[in-house]
């Protein structure tokens, strides 16, 4: 977990700053800032649009008494994509726009489901004791008096 936090809070900003410098040198400072604001505005528009559609899809599935797994996952990815699109940076914008593509979300859900199944499908086998083992012991049967109740 520490490694992932290191990447997010230290390495990602360094990459973003280096991309800012390269793009700023190529198109100019004003155009770079304009592109950042433009991608944020376009991203917010698409996040609102897809978020509303996803909310409607979840509501329909719940009314049909279905579990909206894909819809809930889509909503989570759209939320994260929105946060990434509002965050200034070209790399975060690319990742955010990828999160808005429905095929990408299906692919991500498939990967996460496979990782989850690999990690937890054999969890019960690791802690299962040998069922052929017999434990000897003495016991005393205690009878409750119904009169005391």
Tell me the angle at which helices 90-99 and 102-120 cross, rounded to the nearest 10 degrees.
80
Its pTM stands at 0.74
Q: Is the pLDDT of residue 3 over 70?
A: yes
In terms of pLDDT, which residue wins out, 8 or 131? 8
Q: Tokens 């975060």 correspond to what residue? A: 92
Q: Using alpha carbons only, what angle is made at residue 136 by residues 135 and 138, rounded to the nearest 5 degrees?
A: 130
Structure-block tokens of residue 61: 């599935």
Could you report the per-residue pLDDT of 89-138, keeping only the tens digit for each? 999 999 999 999 999 999 998 998 888 888 887 765 655 555 667 777 88
Q: How far apart are CA 117 and CA 122, in angstroms?
A: 8
């Amino acid at each position: 977990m520490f490694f992932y936090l290191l990447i997010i809070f230290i390495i990602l900003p360094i990459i973003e700053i280096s991309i800012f410098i390269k793009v700023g040198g190529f198109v100019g400072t004003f155009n770079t800032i304009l592109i950042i604001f433009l991608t944020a505005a376009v991203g917010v528009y698409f996040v609102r649009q897809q978020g509303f559609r996803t909310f409607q899809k979840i509501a329909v599935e719940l009314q049909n008494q279905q579990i909206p797994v894909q819809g809930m996952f889509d909503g989570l990815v759209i939320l994260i994509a929105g946060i990434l699109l509002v965050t200034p940076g070209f790399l975060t914008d690319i990742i955010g726009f990828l999160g808005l593509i429905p095929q990408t979300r299906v692919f991500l859900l498939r990967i996460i489901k496979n990782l989850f199944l690999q990690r937890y499908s054999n969890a019960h086998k690791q802690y299962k004791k040998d069922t052929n083992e017999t434990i000897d012991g003495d016991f005393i049967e205690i009878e409750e008096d119904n009169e005391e109740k």
